[in-house]
Structure 1
């Protein structure tokens, strides 16, 4: 069975790292939440984004992303669902009174809640689906199992995303611990995060069905 070569794989890793570290909605979301809500929130959101990437790569390997690329209706549903969720998060952040210094009373499911945020905001973004549909095939051997190769590369991309974003969330959380002692700064960060998510939601809603 034919697979991608080591040269192809190394090229994939280099290209993936450039995509991951480039400023974008996912890493900005990790940084913003880590700063305003602390290390666990940032790391939870990071894990959610990585799981969202795995969802898209799985869809791409099964050929389902091609449906989104070909169907304006499917693209529209995913686009507006994702945009609506981002705007919801933005409004929620704008209404927040800021992160509290006391964390002992936080429900046990808080970290899972941030993980879910990251997952949903990523998984419902059709532009991410189209990105993987165009990106992954460039590094596979067409004579081999295309779906299996895309699954392997997609898993690698998700692992690199998880590692990079978790580190970002971890270190931004340390800054957030300092900022939570200053409620006015924390409230300002919540406002900034809110406007960021609303802006990203509007941008997604206006996106056209093209790369």
Structure 2
């Protein structure tokens, strides 16, 4: 099983990993500040599910396959970038639509499952996340016991810790968003902001190596 002596180092490493700026944190902060805590929470749940899926893939050796097959990683990255571009253009289209033809309460129309899928796909379609899991988790396993089981335990710990931190981020950014919202009436411009964020994430993913 897991050597408990390595857990302090493990949790210290993943703490700095979670608080470092990245696509997940950008998505959480944007949705929490513009659409409230529940939206950030659902995004966080999607990211958590992506972490569990990536842990399973690493445990069964697919992370190594990704590293040894650049074309596969490139294909997943291309799909992820195209998905983010589609989301960004969709939000921008909603933003530029004349107010009279806009759907009422468009901000509230996003379902929980839609938000969860955004968090999941934003993380899952980034091949760097799977490569990270496949290189990070094995550093904390030992030679005794089942290696796949150790990876599963470590991956669940990592994903659960990230979920707790992301929920805290969602709460903090939602409160900040309410304070800013009182001073600046964003209204339908939220869709424009989200569109720019998604296009920025697409550009970042496409440019990453």
TM-score, normalised relative to structure 1: 0.85
Alpha-carbon RMSD across the aligned residues, in angstroms, is: 2.6
Figure out how many residues of one structure are paired with residues of the other and give that number: 203
Q: Is the 8 A contact 1:180 1:186 kept in 2?
A: no
Cα-to-partner distance string for 1:65-110 (whole Å, 9 max, x where unaligned): 1111111221122111111112222222323449x9x869945x71
Structure 1 segment 5-16 matched on structure 2, within 5 A: 5-16=3-14
Gaps of 5+ in 2: 97-101
Using the alignment, how far apart are the partners of 2:74 and 2:29 within structure 1?
Answer: 29
Task: Report the equivalent of 1:116.
Answer: 117
Specify the alignment match of 1:24 in structure 2: 22
Q: Could you tell me which residue of structure 2 aligns to residue 205 of structure 1?
A: 206
Q: How far apart in 2 are the matches of 1:94 and 1:164? A: 30
Quote the offset at 1:199 in angstroms: 2.0
Inter-partner Cα distance in structure 2 for 1:188 and 1:95: 11
After alignment, is 183-192 or 121-130 more displaced?
Answer: 183-192
Would you say the 8 A contact 1:39–1:176 is kept in 2?
no
CA pair 138-188 structure 1, distance change in 2 beyond 3 A: same
1:65 pairs with one of 49, 63, 66: 63
**2-side partners of 1:72 and 1:197: how far apart?**
25
Bigger drift between 68-77 and 113-122 goes to 68-77
Matched, 1:77 2:78: no
- Is it true that 1:34 corresponds to 2:32 in the alignment? yes
Aligned to 1:143: 144
Partners of 1:160 and 1:142 lie apart in 2 by: 25
Structure 1, unaligned stretches of length 5 or more? none
